[in-house]
Structure 1
Amino acid sequence: MIADSDNDLEGQIAQWRAYTQRRRELHHTDAEELEDHLRSRITELTGAGLHADEAFLIAVKRMGSLDELSREFAREHSERLWKQLVLPGEPDTSAAARSRRELLVMVLCAAAAALAIKVPGWFGLDISGDDSTFYARNFSLFALPALAAYFAWQRRVGLRVIGVLALLFILGAVAANAYPLADDSQSIVLTGIHLPLALWLVVGVAYVGGEWRSDRRRMDFIRFTGEWLIYFVLIGLGGGVLTAFTLNAFKAIDLDAEGFVQSWLLPCGAMAAVIVSAWLVEAKQSVIENMAPVLTRVFTPLFAAALLAFLVAVIWTNSGIDVERDVLILFDLLLVIVLGLLLYAISARDLAARPGLFDRLQLTLVVSALIIDVMVLVAITGRITEWGFSPNKTAALGENVILLTNLAWSAWLFLGFVRGRMPFARLERWQTRYMIVYAVWAWTVVLAFPLVFDFA
Structure 2
Amino acid sequence: MTDDQGELEAQFAQWRHYVQRRRELRQADVDELEDHLRGSVDDLVAAGLHADEAFLVAVKRMGSLDELSREFAREHSERLWKQLVLTGGADGPTPSGRSRRDLLVMVGCAVGAAASVKAPELFGLTLEDDAAFYGPNVGLFALPWLAAFLAWRRRAAPAVIGALVALFALGAVAANAYPLAEDSQSLVLTSIHLPIALWFVVGLAYVSDDLRSSRRRMDFVRFTGEWFIYYVLIALGGGVLIGFVFGTFEAIGISPETVIAQWVLPCGAAAAVVVAGWLVEAKQSVVENIAPVLTRLFTPLFTAVLLAFLVTFVVTSAGIDVEREALILFDLLLVVVLALLLYSASARDPLAPAGVFDKLQLALVVSALLIDVLVLWEITGRITEYGTTPNKAAALGENVILLVNLAWSAWLMTGLIRRRVPFAGLERWQTAYLPVYAAWAWVVVLAFPPLFGFL
Please say whether Structure 1 and Structure 2 have the same fold, judged by a TM-score greater than 0.5.
Answer: yes
Q: Could you tell me which residue of structure 1 aligns to residue 55 of structure 2?
A: none
SS of alignment partner, residue 183 of structure 1? coil
Counterparts of 1:57-206 in structure 2, within 5 Å, are 76=72, 91-129=91-129, 131-206=130-205
| Long gaps (5+) in structure 1 | 1-9, 27-33, 53-68, 80-88
| Long gaps (5+) in structure 2 | 1-7, 24-29, 49-64, 76-88
CA–CA distance in 2 between the matches of 1:280 and 1:236?
14
Superposed CA offset, 1:420-450 (max 9, x none): 1110100000000001111110111111111
Structure 1 residue ranges (4+ consecutive) displaced by more than 4 angstroms after TM superposition: 13-20, 22-26, 72-75
Q: Which moved more, 1:393-402 or 1:236-245?
A: 236-245
SS of alignment partner, residue 119 of structure 1? helix
CA–CA distance in 2 between the matches of 1:123 and 1:455?
25
Counterparts of 1:211-290 in structure 2, within 5 Å, are 211-286=210-285, 288-290=287-289
CA–CA distance in 1 between the matches of 2:399 and 2:213?
27
Q: Structure 2 counterpart of 1:116, which letter?
A: S
Q: Structure 2 counterpart of 1:194, which letter?
A: H
SS of alignment partner, residue 120 of structure 2? helix
CA–CA distance in 1 between the matches of 2:123 and 2:161?
29
Counterparts of 1:409-428 in structure 2, within 5 Å, are 409-428=408-427
> Is the 2:292–2:346 Cα contact (8 Å) retained in structure 1?
no
Identity of aligned residues (%): 61
In 2 relative to 1, CA 23–289 (structure 1 residues): closer, same or farther, beyond 3 Å? farther
Q: Could you tell me which residue of structure 1 aligns to residue 54 of structure 2?
A: none
Q: Could you tell me which residue of structure 2 aligns to residue 363 of structure 1?
A: 362
Q: Could you tell me which residue of structure 2 aligns to residue 454 of structure 1?
A: 453
In 2 relative to 1, CA 234–313 (structure 1 residues): closer, same or farther, beyond 3 Å? same
Q: Could you tell me which residue of structure 2 aligns to residue 399 of structure 1?
A: 398
Deviation, 1:246, is 1.8
In 2 relative to 1, CA 257–213 (structure 1 residues): closer, same or farther, beyond 3 Å? same
CA–CA distance in 2 between the matches of 1:251 and 1:19?
58
Q: Structure 2 counterpart of 1:322, which letter?
A: D
Deviation, 1:245, is 2.0
> Is the 1:116–1:142 Cα contact (8 Å) retained in structure 2?
yes
Deviation, 1:274, is 0.6
Q: Which moved more, 1:211-220 or 1:167-176?
A: 211-220
SS of alignment partner, residue 241 of structure 2? helix
Superposed CA offset, 1:181-222 (max 9, x none): 111111111111111111111111111125332211111111
Superposed CA offset, 1:65-111 (max 9, x none): xxxx9xx97972998xxxxxxxxx96422111111110111111111
> Is the 1:179–1:455 Cα contact (8 Å) retained in structure 2?
yes
> Is the 2:189–2:391 Cα contact (8 Å) retained in structure 1?
yes
CA–CA distance in 2 between the matches of 1:234 and 1:320?
38
Q: Structure 2 counterpart of 1:120, which letter?
A: P
Q: Could you tell me which residue of structure 2 aligns to residue 439 of structure 1?
A: 438
Q: Structure 1 counterpart of 2:108, which letter?
A: L
Q: Could you tell me which residue of structure 2 aligns to residue 30 of structure 1?
A: none
CA–CA distance in 2 between the matches of 1:120 and 1:319?
47
Q: Could you tell me which residue of structure 2 aligns to residue 390 of structure 1?
A: 389
CA–CA distance in 1 between the matches of 2:373 and 2:235?
35
Deviation, 1:369, is 0.4
Calculate the TM-score normalised by the size of structure 2. 0.82
Calculate the TM-score normalised by the size of structure 1. 0.82
CA–CA distance in 2 between the matches of 1:310 and 1:181?
37
> Is the 1:19–1:73 Cα contact (8 Å) retained in structure 2?
no
CA–CA distance in 1 between the matches of 2:91 and 2:286?
22
Q: Could you tell me which residue of structure 2 aligns to residue 21 of structure 1?
A: 18
CA–CA distance in 2 between the matches of 1:46 and 1:352?
22
Deviation, 1:14, is 8.5
Paired positions, count: 405
> Is residue 326 of structure 2 the alignment partner of residue 338 of structure 1?
no
Q: Which moved more, 1:163-172 or 1:15-24?
A: 15-24
In 2 relative to 1, CA 90–106 (structure 1 residues): closer, same or farther, beyond 3 Å? closer
CA–CA distance in 2 between the matches of 1:23 and 1:432?
23
> Is the 2:226–2:289 Cα contact (8 Å) retained in structure 1?
no
In 2 relative to 1, CA 18–78 (structure 1 residues): closer, same or farther, beyond 3 Å? farther
Superposed CA offset, 1:279-307 (max 9, x none): 11011133553422211111111111111
Superposed CA offset, 1:110-149 (max 9, x none): 11001100000111101122x0121111010010110111
In 2 relative to 1, CA 210–450 (structure 1 residues): closer, same or farther, beyond 3 Å? farther
Q: Could you tell me which residue of structure 2 aligns to residue 291 of structure 1?
A: 290
Deviation, 1:318, is 2.3
In 2 relative to 1, CA 22–135 (structure 1 residues): closer, same or farther, beyond 3 Å? farther
CA–CA distance in 2 between the matches of 1:74 and 1:196?
34
